[in-house]
Structures are given as C-alpha cells and as structure tokens.
Structure 1
Amino acid sequence: MRDIRYADDELLSLSGIQHFCFCKRQWALIHVEQQWADNLRTTEGHFLHERVDDPFFTENRGDVRISRACPLVSYTLGLYGIADVIEYTRSKEGVSIPDCEGRWTMMPVEYKRGKPKIDERDEVQLCAQVICLEEMFGVEITSADFYYYEIRRRIHTDMTEELRQLVYALAEEMHHLFREEITPPAQKNRKCSLCSLFDVCMPRLTKKNRSVETYIKNHVRDACTDTNGEL
C-alpha cells in the first residue's frame, strides 16, 4: 500500500482507469474535458450494466451471498466507483459484514459486454476494485472474476503484485493529468476505430508533431484533387 492518501475532493472515477489504460487521450477527453459520445459498444455496455446494477438486490445461494452495485472507495488510489457484483462466501477465515451473521470472504465479479481483451484494460479496473475492498474491509483478496457477455462465461483473474503496481502507477498518472488539466496528444493506431470519441478526438488532426496548418493544407489539396482530378 502506498503512503499517499487522497482527500474526498480529489477522488476520481474508478471506471476511468479502464479508459486510461486503453488510451490516455480518451480518458482525458471524458474526465478532464467532460466530453462523451456513444457508439454501439457503449450502448450495449450501458444496457448490460442496467441489468446488473440494482443496489437493493441481494441473493442467497446456500453459503454464497450476492450483492449488486456496491459502492467502493480507495484513498490510496484516490478512486471511487461501483462494483457490479460482490460474491460473499461464508468462511471462518472471512470478515464480518453488515446485516449478515457469521464471517465471509468476498470477491468482485465485473460484467463486460464483449470478450477478453489482448491488453490489460479490463484487469486494471477489476484490480482497482479489489484494492478498494481490501482497504475498506481490511482483507486480502487474491483473485476476482469477469463475466463476458459475448462468450457467456466467467474468467478467473489472479491479482498479482505486478498488476497491483500497474494500477497504482496508472492512478497516480491519472491524478497528475487531472490536476494539471492535461489532455495528451493523439497517438493514432488500430484502437482508434473502436473508440466512440473518434470524431471528438480527431487523431489525424491532433497527432503529436502535426500542425493544424499542415492538416488544413493537405485537406484542401485532397479536396481539390477529388474535384478536379488535379491540383
């Protein structure tokens, strides 16, 4: 655990760490500049979470208790948010939780619309949830699960020390950019076509070392070529 602790008015959205891991510019457009746009993927994601996020719903299955839309906060990460589902399993090695007899271990389950990613954007979000729970309840959680809607199954994920250190590093950089109101320049790559903010970001225009003047000249030249067949 880091020595630094953030105040309440410094807390950032936990879900943003996924955006930040995917693209720092995307995160800044949403969380620093307050811009947002939906596409099919984000709309489907909202619909899926609406089915999960009922804070008044709990379900008991024998020695397993399921709670949904659980508030989370970590003052060492400086993040707050909501866990889709937390599964509590009755265990002598667990901890006490409000309104429940006995002792329980806990594990967050994060719901995703798609399938497992090739990068760590999903894992850092889930690990941040784990760190929140550990800090809030004084427990140690070594693993957590995803449920991917596209493949209709759960994926078990270990909370390694390397993953935890990545989460702390990302959170620290998020706070720096937010505090300084910095929006990083675009780094155009294959991920851009998946982004709902493509038209807001304009990666061709805002890419580092590419001036607006050069962009406009090239745009005019292309337009003239398309119209006249020559410059």
Structure 2
Amino acid sequence: MSGGGEQWVALSALQHLLYCERQAALIHVEQLWREDVNTASGRLLHERVDLPGHDARPGRRVERAVRLGSERLRISGRADLVEYHPDAASPTGWRPFPVEVKRARRKAAEADRVQLCAQALCLEEMHGVEVPEGALYFGAQHRRQAVSFDVTLRTRTEETIARMHALLAQHRVPLVPRAPKCEACSLEPLCLPHVTAGQRRVADYLKQLVEHVG
C-alpha cells in the first residue's frame, strides 16, 4: 500500500526498529534477511494464522490475515487476527480487537505492544471507531496478554513510526554499538557487529574532533 509516491512503513518494521536501529535498516533499507531457528519457528507459527479467512465464534467474528493501512501515518501491513466484538455504541455495530501472535513470552515486550498499537491505529482509521484494547497471544504458553492502548502507548507508537520514516528517508545503515542482544540476532553474520562497532568508535572520535576544532 502506498500513496503519492511517498515511502510507507511496514508494521513489522516498528518491532525491528525498537530491537535495533541497524537491524531495521538492514531489513527495510538493504532488504537483507537471514533465518535462524527462532525466526523459523516464529514463521511456522504465523503460517497457521496467515491464511486469509474468517469464522464466527460465540460473541465475536474472527478475521485472519487482515490487511491494514493508515494514510495519516503512512504505515501498512497485516494483522494476524482481528476479532470483531458486538458493540451497540459502534457505528457498524462491531468493535475491532487486534490480536498479534507471538512464539513465546519475552522479558521486554514494548516492541510487541507498539506493533499491536499501530495495528489499532490503522483499524481506527479504517473503521472510524475507537479501538481501546487488543491482545498478544503467546503460542508456546497458549496464553493471552491484554494490551490497553492508552495515551502513553499511542504516543510511543507514533514516535516510533516517525523514527522509522526518518530512517528510511536517510537510506543508509547506521553504525551502532555492539550489545549482548547481537548474539541472539539472526542477522548477526550479515551485520558483523564486531567490525562495525569499531567503525562507530572511529566515526564518533572524528565527529568530536571536528566539533572541537570548529
């Protein structure tokens, strides 16, 4: 989905950006990808819900692999599941409830919440109705975690979208310090953090030197 020749951000890019700015650029600027055991298991889990379709369940209607987009934010992507709950206060009689499927519960879930909130912002624009909450579903534990789309999360989500737009506009892969999370990244062999970390230190030194001379 695109409009006016402007760059749009993929919903999945938000999670990549919050994990690592360099990872986000490698994937969404350089179009690089490498699968490992963790990404493969996550892909297989998503394949179970990624086939478009719908079904009716008691008190709700469920749509799978729902295409989403927001002209205002210039973001687009797909929701794993969107439940439509009956709501007399909604103009359509239904209120969307996005559900994002994850392989396993993680310690830091901010990126998951931001990605889910971005889906809600798309649904609000598409349906003209407020979407106050959604849920993360962790496949390994077969458990749901409710997520409230409060002002703080909405602000954080829009800030992250703006950051991703800026990263795409620069059209370059930034240098970032090496961190413990690099070991768990499937792109580590392509990113070469042990090499680029040194480049980052040199770049910072040269920048400081220029500022000092100026």
> Identity of aligned pairs, percent?
38
Aligned to 1:16: 13
Aligned to 2:201: 209
Aligned to 2:165: 175
Q: In 1, distance between residues paired with 2:170 and 2:185?
A: 24
Q: In 2, distance between residues paired with 1:85 and 1:95?
A: 21
Aligned to 1:91: 87
Q: TM-score, normalised by structure 1?
A: 0.82
How many residue pairs are counted as aligned between the two chains?
199
Check if 1:156 corresponds to 2:152.
no
Q: In 1, distance between residues paired with 2:172 and 2:20?
A: 14
Q: In 2, distance between residues paired with 1:37 and 1:89?
A: 38
Q: 1:77 is matched with which residue: 51, 73, 76?
A: 73
1:99-126, Cα deviation, whole Å (9 max, x unpaired): xxxx111100000011143241111100
Aligned to 2:100: 110
Q: Assess, with a 3 A threshold, how the Cα gap between structure 1 residues 107 and 62 changes in structure 2: closer, same or farther.
A: same
Unaligned runs of 5+ in 1: 1-5, 97-102, 212-231
Q: CA deviation at 1:62?
A: 2.8
Q: After TM superposition, where is structure 1 displaced by more than 3 Å over at least 4 residues in a row? A: 6-9
| C-alpha contact 1:69 1:84 (8 A) present in aligned 2 | yes
Q: In 2, distance between residues paired with 1:63 and 1:181?
A: 46
Check if 1:53 corresponds to 2:50.
yes
Q: CA deviation at 1:132?
A: 0.4
| C-alpha contact 1:36 1:197 (8 A) present in aligned 2 | yes
Q: In 1, distance between residues paired with 2:137 and 2:104?
A: 9
Q: In 2, distance between residues paired with 1:171 and 1:112?
A: 21
Q: TM-score, normalised by structure 2?
A: 0.88
Q: In 2, distance between residues paired with 1:154 and 1:119?
A: 13
Amino acid at match of 1:20: L
Unaligned runs of 5+ in 2: 204-214
